[in-house]
Structure formats: structure tokens, C-alpha cells
Amino acid sequence: MKFRAMMQDPEYMREFLYIIQTLSKLAKACVMKISMDKVYFVANEESGSTAPLVWVEIDPKQYFAEYTMQGVDSENDPHIVLNIPTLNLGTALSLLRNNPSYCKLKLTNLQFPCLTVDIDAATKSSDKSRRAMHHVPVDVIPRCDWPHFAVPTIPECKLVLNVPSNRLIRGLIDKIKNLSPTIIFYATSAGEMNLVAETDMATITTRYQNLELHTINPSDGDKSKEHIEASCSVDCKKTALFFSALQIPSTELSCGIADDRLIHLEVNVRDGVTIHSKLPAVCI
Amino acid sequence: MKSTLDGGNTKVFAKAVQSLSKFGGDLFIEANIDGMQLRTLNPTKSAVGTYRFSRSFFDCYEVDQNEESFCKLDMRACLTVFRNTKQVERCDMALLNDRTKFQIQLKCQHETLKNTFISVDDEENITAEMAPENNCNTICGSHKIFTEISNNFNPAEEEITLEAQEKKVNVKNYVEGSRVNEKFMRSQLQLNADEFEKYKIEKETCITFCLKELRAFLMFAEALNESLCLQFDGAGSPVFVGISHRDEINCILIMSTLSPEEVSFYDNCQESEVQECTTSKTSQKRKLKTSVPNQSKNIRRVMDQKCIAEDTTLSNSSSLFGFVNNSSKRSYPSSVAVPRNLNTSVSTSSFDEISLLTPALSVETNRMQMFDKNVDPVVSKGVHNGDNDDCIPESPKREGRTNLRSIFSRCFQSTYVPVEPSTSGQIFALDSDTE
């Protein structure tokens, strides 16, 4: 098994740090799945916790200046699946905050399997650079256990809308969290999305209008209708946690609603780098 | 002894107490002609921090000339007094005449007066008769650079190792080739000499010291916005960390250092490629049962026993390890796994006798180990390669597990009756009565 990757663009490196920090706010450990054409990070806390399922998809050819991997079973679909403690990886990457010149990731075996993070960062005070090396202990997941660590699939949603400014939504859901345990996402094909929180005393609705419609998959019964509607009620704490964990300053978020089944949130960081989350529906 | 502080200085004083409380449980206060000093010791007594406030720091300072005022107070009590000093305008401190109480009066805004008496735990004083005068190595830098160094490590990190070289310094949380836990993240940071304000290394050295105490000290340096000065000789002799602020505040932290020779080392610490255990568990079982010849079984047993011996000895002094004895020197990373292998083949006969004397235990542990490998899917992943002839336990995890099995070995014997253990120990007596 071999894995080496190098980043050189400071902006990419900072983004990478934000991604890992996002994951470390959601789960203690994440699964890193390395294949030839994709790198995935999956943060999935055990069921019962409030943390939502979040996964990150990275296209290594665009992101890493240098990328080599050699997985087991090299003939068909070679992979490396690692279990990484997110907090350790976050600490290891912390130097990326100040003006890094390169960041290398490498899978090594130093007494036990490690993901070696090698960062070189320039300093303000001197012309020479500072160098940090961390050996983050990882668990190599054997092939027989791979089925348990499959990357989640992107669900098919009835309506997908582009919602602006997730910072606004974050503040809103943070407030609603204290009022109601659930929040209803309601959207129409006319480009309107409502966030509804119902309590005994009041109903709070936040309306977003003239949103861009991303995709539409009408069900058989809806095809004749002029406006197609979709709504789903989700756990408010779970939703709030996703938004508060999100460290990336992005302006747009796509929100897919599958009627009474789930909500799929997707943040497109840049071409080839996306953060996904699935929020399951709850009964009111 | 009596003293008065104004609002601003009270905040600094409070910060000092807060920072000392991070590592010590008792606060030693001493007042003499020159000023007042706060001291604390860490629980293991490997570090002592002294914060000295000169007379000019106080608005009013009275101490009897012939009298030495000192006392030992509980840190938590002091901390509660100095936790919130936002509204304090004046602070009076006094050691009462009968020396049983230490009085702190905080005059706050809106004519509020907070009066606290802290009982003196002991009329005890500690001194650290050590001065950082003749140390050959000095590193000075702003608190920012030291904060960045400390941020490079996990918050729970206990010790760091500083490798001071002529042109650069290497800060690590491990010693090259040392035995570490499998969940331990090894980190290191390399800084250039010119990043520091003053960097003078006469003798290249490598010292290990506590990080927690340094972080507590750093917190105070940050509050004062002053630079830190590290002075040290070498491993084994103390390291001095100093902060001084306008001749009014002088702080010194003395920490004992550890030399890297005192840690146990791995035999094989060379980087290698990560391997995956690809054989399925059932085939591994068969292989272990049939193909392992008698000879290697013996070695295996011997190795198991050695593991037990290694793990049950508390000291990590090198003389206790059999394999180190034979090779007569510690195996550093450069000398690869050879010593251990060689050893076993040479001394197999002698170990056989030992294994005959206590066969039950070793067989048991042996069996348990095999059992364990077959059942537990988490253990048999990654680096382990089961089809090698020399079944030498390579990963520390398995050694640890053997230890566990040997301690709780009765739980795995066929005679063991898995009854729910009772929560109160008294039930044992009741049972024997009824029978």
C-alpha cells in the first residue's frame, strides 16, 4: 500500500484545514477512503448521537499537485481505507493557517501505520521556514471490512434548490433550535423555500424566494400539477450542528428535499471538492 | 505584613494566581523587604514556579523588618477570590497577626467590599536555591513563538523534548525510536535560530521537560506581553524559564529535565511500507494449527513469557530486558530487529526449561492469543503477517493483550463460571453463611 499526496497552493491548503476542522467538530474519527480518482472523508458518528452524517469528496487530480497511490488489489478498483482520529489530524494540520509553502501527506509504517503530515510554513520574522512533521496514527481497515465503510450515495431528491448564504441559515437554525425540536423544510418548484418551526404558541416561517432551481424529479402524481412541492421535517439539533461545524466560508449551498424521507445538503467548495450531508426525516 | 494593590495591578496579580493554579495545589506566599513572592510546586515536585513582585508593584507595602512572613494557602481558595477581578478598584492583602488567617479585601465598584479570610494551611515555606547564572544555552523569544510551539502539540501532551542545535531547534513530543502507544501521535516542529530574539547554544543538547507547567507560565507571559527566556545546560540538569516585566515582576520556572536515555526503545523502528493482512481469518486459523512446528511453538512460548516478564516489571530500566542484556547494549533504531531474533535462537534451551516449569500459564496465554486472533476482526488488520515462520510478536498491542490475558487468565479457563459480579463486597460473607 502506498499513498503520497502533496499540496502547494496556499488557498487549497487552508481549505483542506477547514475541511478537516469541520470533520473534527462532527466526529472523533473519520474514515478516509483513497482511490485513484477520488479521496473521501466520511464522518459518521454512531447512531444515537446528534452529529449528522457528513462526507467530503475530493478530486485529487485537481487538488493535489502530486498524487500517487497504490492500493491493495491493484487490478480492479484499488483502494486504501483508513480510520483517522480527526482531532489529531486537525492538530497536525494547524500550521497550515500561517502561510504554508507545501504540505505533504504520506502513508508510512513507523512501528504502526501512520499518516505522516509534513508541512513547511514561512514565518514573518525570518526568511527561512518552519517545518512541522506529525505522524498521525491510523487504522488500516482490511478489505473484508470494506463493505461496512462504503461511501454514502447521493440520494435522489424531488427538488433541489440553491440556497444563498449559509451563514444566515446558521444563525436562524441556531435560534430555532431553542424553540422547536424539529424544523420543516418546504420547497416549491417556483423557487421558494420555507423553513417552518412549529410550537404550541407560534409558528415561525422563514421564506426564501426566487431561488434557483437545480434539479426536479416530479413523482407520478405531481406531474400534472403546476407547482411541485416537497417538504420534509428534520431534527433541528442535527441541522444546527451541521451548520455550526461548517468551517468553510462559502456563499452557496444546495438543498435537496426528498418528500418525508431526507434532506441532502451539499456545499460546493470548488470544482472537485464538495461537502455532503444527509439529514433523515423525523416524525412530528 | 500588609500590602495594597490598585485595580490594574490586581488584575496582573490575579492572572499570576490563575497561572500558578494550573499546575500546583498549594500557594506559598512569602513577603520580605524586597517584595512579595508567590510560589507553587507541581504534584510530582518536578517543577517550581516563582512569581516575585517587587515593592514598587504595590501601592503600599509594609513588612516588619525582623519578621519573615510566609504562609501556605490552599490554591483553590485563592483562585475563587481572584477569579473575577473586573470591577476591583483596590486590593488589600494582609497576614493577620496570629498567623492563622490571610485576609484579602477587594474594593469593587459601587462601594462593594469583598472581604475574604483564607485560613493558613501551614507555616511552611519552600525555597529553590538555584539561579540561572552559569547555563551555557539560552533561548529567548516572544511569547507568541512559544505559544505557537505549544499549539503544535495536543492539549493533553505531557512532555516535550527540545533538541537544541547550533542553527536550529527541534521540538518533539517523542524520542526517536522510543516505545510509544499505538494511539500516540508523534509530532515535531523545526524552528530556525533566527526566529528567536536571542539564541545562544554553546553545547548542543536534547532535554525533555513538562509541557503543562510551561503552558501555565506562557499564559502569564501572554498577559504581560513579555518574552520568555529559556536557560539550560543539558539533560538531567534543570531548565530555567524566566519572564521579567519592568523590574517589577520577575518570574522563574524551574523544571527538572529528563535525559532521553531513560526511555525504552523499539528494536525495529525503520519505516516500512504498510501491508494489509489479506488472508481470511479461517485460513489463518488452519495455518496456525497445522503448520507451526514444535520448535517455533517453543520459541513462541518463550516469547510470550518474555512479554509477560517485560510487561509486569514496572521499571523500564534496560537491565531488566533479557534481550538487551545479551546484546549488552540498547538497540537503537539503526540496529534493526536482529538482536531479538538472534537471542531467541541462542537461548532457546534455557527458556525451554522455564517454560516447562510453568507450562500451564504459557500454553494458556498461547492458546488465548491464537483464539483472539481468529475471533477478533479488529486485531488482525494492517501490519500483522501471520504466515511468517518466526512468530515473534511485533506489535505492542498484542503484548499488551497477552498481559491482560495473563492477569485475567482465570476468566478464560474452563473452570470459570461467568456469574455477574456483585456490586457490594459484603455478599461474599453472606454466601458462605448460607452454605
Residue A205 pLDDT: 92
> Mean pLDDT, to the nearest integer, of A69-88?
81
- Any idea which of A103-117, A136-150, B383-397, B406-420 has the lowest mean pLDDT? B383-397
CA of A122 to nearest chain B CA: how many angstroms apart? Answer: 10
* Residue B243 and residue B287 in one domain: no
Select the more confidently predicted residue: A243 or B403.
Answer: A243
pLDDT of residue B270: 59
The number of distinct structural domains making up chain B is: 3
Q: B-side interface with A, Cβ within 8 Å?
A: 145, 151-154, 180, 182-192, 194-195, 266, 268-269, 271-278, 280-281, 377, 380-383, 395-396
A91 vs B contacts (CB less than 8 Å) = 152-154, 185, 187
Q: Minimal Cα–Cα distance from B260 to chain A, Å?
A: 19
Whole-angstrom Cα distance, residue B102 to residue B203?
46
pLDDT for residue A242 is more than 80:
yes
* CB atoms B183 and A85 under 8 Å: yes
Q: Does A126 contact B at CB distance below 8 Å?
A: yes
* Test the A interface: residue of B140, B185, B269 with most A CBs within 10 Å: B185
Give the model's pLDDT for residue B85: 84
The pLDDT value given to residue B262: 59
Cβ-count burial B248-276 (b if 16+ within 10 Å, e if not) = bbbbbbbbbbbebeebbbbbbbeeeebeb
B144 lies in the same domain as B115: no
- Calculate how close chain A gets to B316, using CA atoms only, in Å: 19
A107: nearest CA partner in chain B: B274
Q: Which residues, other chains included, contact A92 with Cβ-Cβ below 8 Å and sequence gap of 6+? A: A117, A132, A134, A136, B185, B187
Ramachandran area for residue A136 (φ above 0: left; ψ -120 to 50: alpha; else beta): beta
* Every domain range in chain A assigned CATH 3.70.10.10: 2-149, 159-280
Least CB–CB distance from B184: residue in A123, A133, A137:
A137
The answer as to whether B373 is a domain residue is yes
Q: List chain B pLDDT tens, one digit each, 435 residues.
A: 888 888 888 899 899 999 999 888 888 888 888 888 888 988 888 888 889 888 888 888 888 777 778 888 888 888 998 888 888 888 898 888 778 888 998 898 888 888 989 888 877 777 777 777 777 888 898 888 888 888 888 888 888 888 888 888 889 888 776 767 778 888 888 888 888 888 888 888 888 888 888 898 899 999 888 888 888 888 888 888 888 888 888 888 888 887 666 555 555 555 666 666 543 333 333 333 333 344 444 444 444 444 444 443 444 433 333 343 333 344 344 333 333 443 433 444 444 444 444 444 444 444 444 444 444 444 444 444 444 445 555 555 544 455 555 566 666 666 666 665 545 545 555 555 554
Q: Based on the domain organization, do B162 and B40 belong to the same domain?
A: no
Note the maximum CA span of chain B. Answer: 88
In this prediction, residue B325 carries a pLDDT of: 39
- Which of A1, A131, A133 has the CB atom closest to B275's CB atom? A1
Distance from CA of A172 to the nearest CA of B (A): 33
Residues B226 and B114 in one domain: no
Q: What is the CATH number of the domain that holds B205?
A: 3.70.10.10
List all residues of chain A from 74 to 103 with a beta carbon under 8 Å from chain B: 85, 87-88, 91-92, 94-95
Question: Which pLDDT value is given to residue B83?
Answer: 87
Question: Does B194 contact A126 at a Cβ distance shorter than 8 Å?
Answer: yes
Fold of A2-149: Proliferating Cell Nuclear Antigen (3.70.10)
| Among candidate residues B85, B105, B84, the one with its CA nearest the CA of residue B94 | B105
> CB A133 to CB B188 under 8 A?
yes
* The pLDDT value given to residue B276: 63
What are the φ and ψ backbone dihedral angles of A68, each rounded to 5 degrees?
A: -130, 135
* Domain, as residue range, for B344: 281-412
- pLDDT average, residue stretch A11-15: 87
Is the pLDDT higher at B315 or at A24?
Answer: A24
Same-domain pairing of B214 and B243: yes
Decide if A113 and B189 are in contact by the 8 Å CB cutoff.
Answer: no
Distance from CA of B340 to the nearest CA of A (A): 16
Same domain, B224 and B167: yes
Give the pLDDT score at B31.
Answer: 85
Comparing CA positions, the residue from A164, A195, A167, A159 lying closest to residue A180 is A195
Domain boundary pick from B73, B89, B119:
B119
Q: Is residue B111 part of a domain?
A: yes
Answer yes or no: is B32 within a domain.
yes
- The radius of gyration computed from the CA coordinates of chain A, to the nearest angstrom, equals 21
Contact B274 A108 (CB under 8 A): yes
Residue of A85, A126, A140 with shortest CB distance to B276: A140
Tell me the C-alpha distance between B98 and B82, whole Å. Answer: 24
Size of interface A-B (CB pairs under 8 A): 110
Chain A nearest CA to B175, separation (Å): 13
> Among all residues of chain B, which has the CA nearest to that of A73?
B278
| CATH tag, A159-280 | 3.70.10.10
Instruction: State the nearest Cα–Cα gap between A242 and chain B, in angstroms.
Output: 25
User: Residue B62 falls within a domain, yes or no?
Assistant: yes
Burial of B20 (0-12, 13-18, 19+ CB in 10 A): buried
Q: Which residues pair with A130 in a beta bridge?
A: A121
Contacts of B278 in chain A (CB under 8 A): 72, 142-143
Grid cell of A225 as nine digits: 400539477
Q: CA of B178, closest CA in chain A: separation in Å?
A: 10
C-alpha cell at B310: 517485560
Strand partners, A212: A162
Is residue B30 a part of any domain in this protein? Answer: yes
- Render the burial of B360-396: b for 16+ CB within 10 Å, e for the rest: ebbebbbebbbebbbeeeebbbbbbeeeeeebbbbeb
A175–chain B Cβ distance below 8 A for any pair: no
The residues, ordered by sequence, that sit 6+ positions from A115 with a Cβ below 8 Å of its Cβ are A32, A82, A84, A89, A105, A106, A107, A108, A135, A136, A138
A133 vs B contacts (CB less than 8 Å)? 187-190
User: Which residues in chain B have their CB less than 8 angstroms from residue A135's CB?
Assistant: 185-187
Q: B76 in a domain, yes or no? A: yes
Task: Write the residue in A112, A135, A145 that is nearest to B383 by C-beta.
Answer: A112
